[in-house]
Amino acid sequence: MNDLIARLFVLLQQLLPKSLLTAFVYHVARVRWGPLKNFLIRRFVALYDVDTSKLLHSVPEGYPNFNHFFIRELSPGARTIDSGTNTIISPVDGTVSARGHIEDDDIFQAKGLHYSLTDLLATDTDEATIYRGGSFITLYLAPYNYHRVHAPLTGEIKSAHYIPGTLFSVNDSTVRCLPMLFARNERVACHVQTASGPMVILFVGAINVGTIYTKWTGDIRPRHKGIAEDIDLSRSGRSFDKGETIGWFNLGSTVILLLPPGTSNQFVGISAGDTVSMGQAIGTLRDSR
């Protein structure tokens, strides 16, 4: 029965005007009229049982609109950043959707479903080749999660690409039923250099995600059509420290990390379904380059 419900949910998404709904949510989430934004925040907290005990601002009065609440900051010390020199930390609070080895050009999505590394990056095939035989981890941010994205390692961004696409949900039901989900949805691929080699931090959009934000791009609104675009990185400094905030989702989505072969332990020690917190060690570097 659960599989049937999941397939019906995917079918419903195929019929829905996802772009129109996302645009509507974008505008409603930015309404500053106190009674409405306070109602939305209170209902959201109650519906999703959001933990508000470690937030920087009071709820709902401390937020000018619902979107500011959604991209809320945590109080100092609310998360501990693992300081190990060889550890990769979780960039987000979320749930592990999948992790492991990249088989040539093939990345595991869910039981019976895979997607292409080349399609995911949708850029120069030389960039995809770097990660063949490497490792990946897919982290899902549920609506109740803290939605800021932090650097999993100290590094420097070298290039970034916006890849237009559709806006399917990225929840567990859709991941289990919709082939090539992450290579279909819109996304921003950040190619970075670390002391241990290159890495990709990939922000995947989804239905109701009105924007994806990174410190280098500012807000990126969904476009859905066209080809992958190079992003001008002059907006902010290129270097960042492990644990530093590098972006956020304006409503929930997914982050995928890609590392080349021989760089990490392939995130052994955690499994699909595990809950992780930003700053928690999720992997280990094998060597320095």
Could you list the active site residues? 93, 150, 253
| Cα angle value 120/128/283 (rounded, 5°) | 85
127-159: string of b/e by CB count within 10 Å (b at 16+)? bbebbeebbbbbbbbbeebbbbbbbbbbbebee
Decide if 95 contacts 274 (C-beta within 8 A): yes
Dihedral-angle region of residue 251 (phi above 0 means left; psi in -120 to 50 means alpha; beta otherwise): left
Q: CA end-to-end span of the chain, whole Å?
A: 50
Is 164 within 8 Å of 101 (Cβ atoms)? no
